[in-house]
Chains A and B, each alone.
Chain A
Amino acid sequence: SQKIEQNSEALNIQEGKTATLTCNYTNYSPAYLQWYRQDPGRGPVFLLLIRENEKEKRKERLKVTFDTTLKQSLFHITASQPADSATYLCALGSTDGLTFGKGTHLIIQP
């Protein structure tokens, strides 16, 4: 069956460092992959989309990589700030829509 794994339920990073979140998947061949941010009590907010034929995407301090051979996506936040603290969701996409991972709770400590 399809499986999506996001690294550790919680990740603590010191302010100013780069936070790297991992999304691994099995038994799936996504056409694209998305990352979302979710704050407590709120719905997810879209951050980035990367297609299967793209290696890397950037948006301001965010960078996403997509390796279809390793079946892995990495999500980087550079120069992290306490305001970046949230849960980050990886979602695999096909023509049918999205399948979400459980998310990683990122905590940026001042």
Chain B
Amino acid sequence: ETGVTQTPRHLVMGMTNKKSLKCEQHLGHNAMYWYKQSAKKPLELMFVYSLEERVENNSVPSRFSPECPNSSHLFLHLHTLQPEDSALYLCASSQWRSYNEQFFGPGTRLTVL
């Protein structure tokens, strides 16, 4: 058990739906991340929050919208997604952004029809 939980574990949605992914950590970490993992591609960093403020957005399409209401919770709001957005979405946390190991959740397997 890594201490980072994600819900739901699996999600199937249509292109017109709106859904949210949830991530929770109770490790007392100050940084939280959203990654996208597609087959045959490296982990892609989507968003970074440090001390509840967004510090990085790697040119992610606006159909993905993150939210960090407090240091323990992170959301990824999804709307009007495309089939190519189907992937494993991983949440991670670390004590600080650099020189620290990242603890990953189990991921949400997202399928966009």
Contacts and interface: CB of A to CB of B under 8 A. Distances in A.
Nearest to A43: B104
A10 interface: no
Q: From DSSP, what is the main secondary structure of chain A's interface residues?
A: strand
A103 B98 contact: no
Interface in A70-89: 89
What class of interface size applies to chain A in its complex with B? 20 to 34
Interface residues of B, number: 24
Contacts of A102: 40-42
A11 interface: no
Given A42-B107, A43-B92, A97-B48, A34 B101 contact: yes
A100 B107 contact: no
B56 A4 contact: no
Interface of B: 2, 4, 31, 33, 40-43, 45, 48, 56, 90, 92, 97-99, 101-107, 109
Interface of A: 4, 31-32, 34, 41-46, 49, 51, 89, 93-103
13 contacts: A41-B107, A41-B109, A42-B107, A43-B90, A43-B105, A45-B104, A96-B98, A97-B45, A98-B45, A98-B102, A102-B40, A102-B41, A102-B42
